[in-house]
Structure 1
């Protein structure tokens, strides 16, 4: 019998699409821990299992699987690397290896199936979150082989955030989409990257948050933390040093606390 756990989706007021993930891990207790941590990061877990056969069944039953987190060692005759090879052959779904195995032989095998990342346990939640987001931003249908052979120089201007007075043109794969300022939820800095969360999508730029903030209208956006800038129009509530934006909880640092919470006076 296939050891497969389905997770019931709860429809909440926040209509922002979540990233759909399948977790495939050898130990079910570890899988449950990973699932709980991912749910805290606001990802939607379709299900989790400990075998390749069950993972393939999960994929076949769900049309919208965004990414898989695979262990190298799995229950049954097919290991995680062999499963990854099947996924490459039959499905157009990216995957990340999340494993405790760092043997050179295993890593050499893993390289051949071209994972989007190879993360060793114990892992850092932010590390996994960044890997997932960058994987999905960079993932698209494979270009034609001829296009792969064409050498092109990096165009700095293509990595900027073009703007107009009511919003930005944000780059998604190979095109730009206009996103109005009122549709932007918040900006999060991850070292050399900035993640832009909107009502319906996520965009990631290899550009510092400070440079992007300079282009934002101050009447709509406020810095609440070294790593966060929020749209004050979409804040739905607060508690302690946290602001609520849909299902997201945004920390407010001590430096910005007074200025931020003066905007959200509670009724006494």
Structure 2
């Protein structure tokens, strides 16, 4: 199973594979599905004048893909020196141990269970491999261990599954929590407004060139869905499956299991705030 769950909405973006910004290249994993869109985006990041690269989210355990990432780095004159994870879902992290073995690199992640080496990742950390500056931004909500990486030099942010290049993501209840997710979106809005971030480099789907617009869309979408779930509950639809059938009738049924996780998170949020 994969875990992005691209629900309807969100403007379409640009680059799917290849050079996205001066410091980033995307290698698309061959795991396309309704849940992963075109596949998982594996990001190679480096300073133009450095021979060292950082890879974010090696993706699924697929040797062809993992070796393609290494080849893409080598063709650019880079050696992979570090592996980072946005979160632990298999479509992003399953291949990390194998990739680390192929590249002889450490794996840094928020979740200690995913780390290979002595260092993890925490809020406020700055990754400086090869002169690169990647700032760690905690963005729990999709999962409790979700992180984004702010790349100031390119005015970009790598968002994993927190913001997708197409559609909207799910809140993976019970590990993911809606209140945390809304706070994370507001944190990303601050990056756009206060720090000048304009490019979203997502874990799935194309690059988005209007970071603030993407975040505002996500916040509006969440508010709209939450109001729909509240109305459904007031009508007497009390179970998550009943609410999904009422609120997500416009969504392909193959995505209803993912929508149900988001509904569970929404119902929990409404109960916690005394709204149902």
TM-score, normalized by length of structure 2? 0.30
State the structure with bigger RCO (CA 8 A, min sep 6), 1 or 2: 2
**Structure whose alpha-carbon radius of gyration is higher:** 1
TM-score, normalized by length of structure 1? 0.31
- The answer to which structure has the higher helix fraction is 2
